Amino acid sequence: MSTTISQAESARIESAIQAAVSGSWEEFAKLTDEPFPNDASMKEQFEDSYPRLKQARGNWQMTSDIGIVPEDGTRVITVILKAPPNVDIVLTLHSTSDRDDSAISIWTFFQQLNLDD
């Protein structure tokens, strides 16, 4: 099992970021292959986070990490967009595999304070 982001996962991450930058909840919501556990909560996370990304105008540093779930080999992908001065946007996805036909679901999209800057 690969611990690098696949092409399908990378494309989904990029699409989620672009939907957020454009402020389109409808486009963002279409990008999850499994329904959100709580639509209202996810929409609230989106509405809180997308203005920050829009304001950053692409001026962010993106890092990512992949954790493999031992029980089933699925992948939890955490993407952090460091958007100065001190707020990071965290996007968490779940992917069934590193193959192109993987089911990819969005789990979280929230802001976190970064006091390291």
Q: Residue 1's pLDDT is what?
A: 55
Q: Residue 85's pLDDT is what?
A: 72
Q: Residue 56's pLDDT is what?
A: 84
Q: Is 3 helix (H, G, I), strand (E, B) or coil?
A: coil
From its phi and psi, is residue 18 left (phi > 0), alpha (psi between -120 and 50) or beta? alpha
Phi, psi of 48 (to 5 degrees): -75, -35
pTM for this structure?
A: 0.90
The percent of residues in the chain predicted with pLDDT above 70, rounded, is 96
pLDDT(51) > 80: yes
